[in-house]
Amino acid sequence: MRPLLLLLFAGLGVAPVVSHPDKPEMRLSRSFTVDSLGACQGLSWLHGKAYLYGDREVGMIREFELKDDSLLYTGHEFRLTMHDTDVINHPTGLAVHGKDPVFMGNSVILNKATNQWKAIIYCIDWPGLMRTGTLDGGNLLNVIEDDACIQGTRPEYVEYEHKWYVATADYGNRANEVRLYDPAVLQHARKTTDKGVLYKKFTCGPWVQNLQWIPEKGLLLLIQNKIEGRQWRFTYVDLHKSLSSGKAEVVRTEDGISRGDELEGFHFLGSLSKGIAVTSSRRENVNFIDINW
C-alpha cells in the first residue's frame, strides 16, 4: 500500500483487518479443570483479572488471577441472587466498557419441545456487585426482555463509527442475527423492541454462544459450536462491512481445534497472542489458546 494511503487510513482511525485467509491461527496449548462453576457459560478479562461465570446451584461469577499458564482463584465469588433467590440463573454474556452501563444476559428455555426461549438482559451495578457479592442493595438496576432476539442473548460492547454499542447474537440454526443496541436507551428500556434500542443488525451463522470484540483489528469474533451444543468454531467477521451489507462478512473461520464438547466463551488475556476458551464440561473446562496473527 502506498505511504499516502497509509497516512489517510491512519487519519481516519480505520483499524487494519486481517488479510491472510489462514490467519489468525489458534492452537490449544493447555487444558485444566476449574471447579465450583457448574456449567461454565463464559468469561471476561477485566482490569487484569479473569471473571468466569456459570450456572451452579445459582448463577454466579468467580474472580481469578493469571499465574503463568494457570488461573488462581482469589476467593471472591459473586452470586447473581436477590434475597437469596436465583435471578440470573443461566448467565450468558457480560458487557463492560469503561463507565458505560454494565449488562449481563440470561437465556432461559421455556419449552424444550418447541425450542421456545426467553432472553433477558440485566443492567447491573458492577462496582456494587463486586462490593457486596450479590444483586441485593440496588445492584440490579433494570430488567430488559430481549424480545428482538430469536433465541438467547449474549451482550458484548463493540465500537462502530466512534460510538460504543451493545452487540448480541442468537443461538439457533435459522435466521440468526447480530444486533447492536444503544446502551443509553437499553439501560432504561422494558424490552429491546422499544423505540431507539436497536441501531443496526446483520445475519450470521448458527450456534453463536458468545461474542468477543477485537478493536485493534476491527473484527468481531463469533464464538460458536459447529453443531448444536457440540464442537468448537471461531468465526472472525469484519464488523463495519457486515453492518453495511446486512450479513456477516467473514474474514476467517477457525475450525482446527478438535474438541467435541460445548464451547461457551472465549476472551483474550491482555494481548491478542493468548486467550482462554471455556466449556460447559465438568472436566478440562478451561483452555489456554495461543493465537498467531
Q: Of 210, 260, 205, give the one whose Cα is nearest residue 232.
A: 260
Say what the pLDDT of residue 115 is. 67
* Cell numbers linked to 281: 464440561
Q: Tell me: the pLDDT tens digits for 176-202?
A: 999 999 999 999 999 999 999 999 999
Give the mean pLDDT of the chain: 93
Say what the pLDDT of residue 172 is. 85
**Which positions of the chain have pLDDT values less than 50?**
1-14
Q: Tell me: the pLDDT tens digits for 27-63?
A: 999 999 999 999 999 999 999 999 999 999 999 999 9
pTM equals 0.92
Write down the CATH number for the domain with range 15-292: 2.120.10.30
Q: Of 119, 260, 109, 107, give the one whose Cα is nearest residue 191.
A: 119
DSSP letter, residue 133:
S
Q: Is 13 left (phi over 0), alpha (psi -120 to 50) or beta?
A: left
Are 124 and 140 in contact, with CB atoms under 8 Å apart? yes
Say what the pLDDT of residue 11 is. 42
Cα separations in angstroms, 103 against 23, 51, 184, 209: 31, 14, 12, 16
